[in-house]
Structure 1
Amino acid sequence: MSRESVLYFSGRVPREVLTLGAALQSVDRATFRGMVKVLVSEFEGRDTSDLRKAISRLRQGVKDRQAFDKAFSGLHRLIRSVIARDPVELTSEELMKDLQQLKITEDFSSDICSALYGSRRGEMDKKNEPLRFEGLEKLDYKIDVTVTTDKKGVKRWTPCVLVSLKTTSGEVLSGELRMEDFHRMRHSVAQALKQIDIMENRLEGR
């Protein structure tokens, strides 16, 4: 699956999204369209109290409320992921392919695409613009050796790592690391990635 896919989800598809197709089998199209309408209004920043009343009315009108809850949760996660992506990068065609993989019917898929790629998308993007932090664009490093001579005339060869960082803002930072500091940095990065993986699993209920 390509990175343009909404299902990329940092390498994992959340459980509520994976089961969305099955949950929607118990939801009729009118109810589904009501769910989409409520979610679009939510992401536009509308009054949450009115939205809660609307979703409560929809829920009262279905026979299988458990399936409704699962479908609403999965749809919420799916829509949130779509509007977090640039519509130029994630096109409606790409989204349709993703929805097919989720075994969502063509009618429901068309409703989702129409809602997320129509005239209301601009307002949703405006209300849900992600926070942007300065990041790392490029990292270069090379090994250097410093030669020193002690009082007895013995030469000592001390390796070090010369590091150059370029941030997304264009700033260039450079410095020198001792080998033990470089390995400590590698270990810290590996630990941070492990913790991120653990947190993602917990959030997804795995």
Structure 2
Amino acid sequence: MKMTTTFKSLVSASLLLGLAATSQQSQAMELSGDITFTSDYAFRGISQTEEAPAIQGGLTLTAESGFYVSVWGSSVDFGGQGTLELDVMLGWSGDLNEQWSADVGVMRYGYPNTEFAGSNFYELYGSLSYQDFTFGLAFSDDYYGNAGTYFYLYGGYSYALTDNLTLDLHIGHNEYDDSSASYLDWSIGLSTEVLGAGLSLAYVDTDINGCNLCDSRVVFSVSKSF
């Protein structure tokens, strides 16, 4: 994918800063990971698997400074146009004070066995969390499928119903160059932990009409962190 000069400079600067900080903290690194089975890979409200199950997993290397490098993958189904998504992230996360925390970085979405132009793209992302609220923004200067400039603005809230049951709320606005393609997505879910495994059940929907992969559905996921 071809990026504009400004966007490429931002990405390069982020990569250099992160690698420099990570090398300085090489004596204090932590490796973590997770694996997930989900009944449908719904990305920003749209199924990436033809509403079929997906296997997902990731690894994250984190420095004491808060900088991290992460690799994440998922099975996908684009109707014969790809079966794998493989993403790489470089970012920083940490506490700003006792109540606020932040997560910022750059992410490359990759589809190794997808052949059409514009399938791979970059995104800058950032979020602020206050107690149980999270507000975030993502930006790409050339989104998936050569869609041009794209913004994703979202908010989330997690409310502890009991010691081991959480209500998860999410709403996001997808803004494209072509305003007719812009849409809202949202979800309402419950999450818990049983025998060390994370379980979640969510109702996912968008305001897109006439799109089977964007319709409302219930998604069940089982995950394990290590």
Q: Which has the higher strand share?
A: 2
Tell me the TM-score normalised to structure 1 length.
Answer: 0.20
The structure whose residues are more often helix, as a share, is 1
TM-score, length-normalised on structure 2?
A: 0.19
Bigger Rg, structure 1 or 2: 1
Higher-RCO chain (CA-CA 8 Å, sequence separation at least 6): 1
